[in-house]
Every structure is written in structure tokens, then in C-alpha cells.
Structure 1
Amino acid sequence: MAIQYYVASSLDGFIAAPDDDIDWLISFGMAEFQDHYDAFIADVGAIVMGSSTYAFIVDQGAESWTYGTTPSWVMTSRDLPGIEGADIRFATGEIGPVLAAAADAAAGRNVWVVGGGLVAAQAAEAGLLDELHVTLMPVVLGAGSPLLPVRDRLGPLNLTGTTAFPSGAVELVYEVAARAAG
């Protein structure tokens, strides 16, 4: 079981343009990444995300929860609507107990920290992030929501895998050395 931050980023380290715009990412489509994503999600037993990520997913108007019956936690300080038939739990406060509950619910499978960057940074700063799966997209945004806005250095990171895609995107998989050693 690993706690993983799986995300796409611009080359200059942003996961969304200003105003949380991800049209730049959507423009790449999903076709070339689908098999890779399917292999990743097959090992995920629980999900943790922030309220902005959750609100974006809900605003897309899907008739059902994107992640099926996978237990999902939303870190939030605001009231958000639930989704019928989905196992969604809203949480406040420290991320440690939330990740522990997610790990229990994952039953030996991985926990995916979907995003955004602030939630992933909280996990990293708490020493609870095991892996980073960052797909660098061939675009420079100049500004936006940072990939991993930690307050202090995170590392060293051990590169454990790379995948190049036809569009020029490259996935880098890093193990957080401190977690691997512990």
C-alpha cells in the first residue's frame, strides 16, 4: 500500500492555470494516457482530494461519481453537495487521520491523493506521501496553482519510473526517500 500523488503538471510546475482553469490539460485529450491511467487506478482502493477538485468534478455534470464506489474523502471547510450512490466522506482538520482512515478503507491497495496541490502538500509535510506520479505536459503556463506548494524542502526523491507519451508528455514516478526508509 502506498499513498500516491498522481497528477499532471505544466513544465513550469502548475496543475491549473489562474482561476483553476484546466482547459490547457483537457486539450491534450485522454486517449494516449487511458491505458496508463487504467493500470494506475486498478490499484487504488481509496481517494483523498480537496474541495476545489471535488467541486470541479461535480460541476462537470456527470450522472454518477467518477470513481464509482471507491471510498473517497474530501478535505473541506465548506458545505458541499454529496453524490447519490457514492461513498464520499467530507473531512476537516489535519490530513493525517484522514489518510489513516483512507488507508484502512483501501484494504491493502493504494491511496490516491487526487489533488489539488494543497492537499498533496499537507500529506507531504506530514511525512505521509510515499510516491509522486507527475505527468509533465508540454506546455508552459506562467502562473496558476502550484504542483506541490510545500513550505520546506521535500527530498531527496528517488526516480523509480518514466514513461514518454507521443504528445511529448512524460510521466515521472518518484519515491519519497524518507517514507521508503521508514
Structure 2
Amino acid sequence: MTKIQYYVASTLDGFIADEHDGLEWLLQFGMDDFEGHYERFFAEVGALVLGATTYEWVLREGGGWPYGSVPTWVLTHRELESPDGADIRFASGDIAPIADAAVAAAAGRNVWVVGGGPVAAQFLAAGRLDELLVTYMPVALGRGRPLLPVRAVTPPLELTGVTRLGDAVEHVYRIG
């Protein structure tokens, strides 16, 4: 069954980017400890959802669109460019029909809410987020973009898995 998952790296103090949307704090660790784990996760992804800030960061810093032709929804109110060969759908408004379309496009695989935190918070508030997969990195920022900027207290989450990845630790939580 398709799950909608927020898969993200976070600092120990709960930030996913610095105050300028930078990820230098994360990139300093390299990918050696994470690459195989990420590849196994991504092999089960059939659709993506991300916000405009994350989308623009990926295009600017990623050296091209890294997700191939995986159906992708970008939440935005602006007109943005789409890279060649990418299956990008720009959307705004109620998250429920966007979630439904992403689940349908995933065709039995999972939907990855790539980021940022406000996008994941919208899915959570709408009752459409099934899992939270957070890799906590051994660093603190003190300020930045929060992991999950919710407007209300979440229900208790159920810890269903813990994986050590070098000096980092991934926690998997089931929601609801």
C-alpha cells in the first residue's frame, strides 16, 4: 500500500536548512554513510511533492534534476521553469487533491514529501502524512528552517525503526 512519507535530514536541534536555506551543515558529512540507504528508500518512491523553495534549491545546487521522470508536484503560487525530461506539475490550494493525484501517480509505490517543513506540515494537518523518516545529523544550528513547523500539537508518533548511519541516526515514525 502506498505511504506518504516525509524523508529528511535534520540537525539535532530540529532544523532542515539554515536561515538562508543553505545545507552546508549537511553537505559537510558527504554521502558515503547514506548513499545505499537513500538508494533503497528512493527505489520505493513513485511520486514526489515539494515546495517551491526546495524545488529551486534542487535546480540551483543539484547540478540538474536528480529525480528523472518521477511524477513531481511543486507547491507554488508562482510560474516556474521545468527542466527538460522532468514530469513536473505545479499546484496550489487544498493539499488533499494533490495528495490523491500523487498517490495515484505513484502506482503502488510511495510518495516522498521532499520538503520543506511547511509542505510536510500541510500534509500532516490534512491527515495525509503516514510516516516521518528523520535522519538526525550530529550538528546544531541554533536557528534556521524548522523540521516540522506545525500550528498545533501533533498526536503521539509511534517509533517503528532506528538505523545508525555513521554518526547519524534515522528515526522512522508512523503517524496516527
For the residue of structure 2 that corresponds to 1:18, the secondary structure is coil
Other-structure match for 2:77: 77
Counting helix residues as a fraction of each chain, which structure ranks higher?
Answer: 1
Other-structure match for 1:31: 32
For 1:17 and 1:28, the matched residues in 2 are separated by 16
Q: Would you say how many aligned residue pairs link Structure 1 and Structure 2?
A: 175
For 1:175 and 1:17, the matched residues in 2 are separated by 27
For 2:154 and 2:38, the matched residues in 1 are separated by 25
For the residue of structure 1 that corresponds to 2:133, the secondary structure is strand
Other-structure match for 1:103: 103
Letter in 2 for 1:12: D
Other-structure match for 1:3: 4
Gaps of 5+ in 2: none
Deviations 1:138-177 (A, max 9, x none): 00100000000010111211111001122x210000000x
Structure 1 window deviating more from structure 2 (113-122 vs 78-87): it is 78-87
Instruction: Give identity over the alignment, percent.
Output: 58
CA apart distance, 1:62: 2.4
Other-structure match for 2:47: 46
Gaps of 5+ in 1: none
Following superposition of structure 1 onto structure 2, how do residues 149-160 of structure 1 map, counting pairs within 5 Å? Answer: 149-160=149-160
For 2:111 and 2:48, the matched residues in 1 are separated by 6
CA apart distance, 1:97: 0.8
CA apart distance, 1:80: 1.0
Other-structure match for 1:115: 115
Letter in 2 for 1:42: A
For 1:101 and 1:62, the matched residues in 2 are separated by 28
CA apart distance, 1:77: 1.1
Supply the RMSD in Å over aligned alpha carbons.
0.9
Letter in 1 for 2:28: S
CA apart distance, 1:96: 1.2
For the residue of structure 2 that corresponds to 1:19, the secondary structure is coil
Moved over 3 A (4+): none
**Cα distance 1:8–1:91, how it changes in 2: closer, same or farther (>3 A)?**
same
Q: Does 1:16 align with 2:24?
A: no
For 2:129 and 2:14, the matched residues in 1 are separated by 18
Other-structure match for 2:57: 56
TM normalised by structure 2 equals 0.97
For 1:25 and 1:130, the matched residues in 2 are separated by 25
Q: Does 1:170 align with 2:173?
A: no
Letter in 1 for 2:51: G
For 2:59 and 2:135, the matched residues in 1 are separated by 23
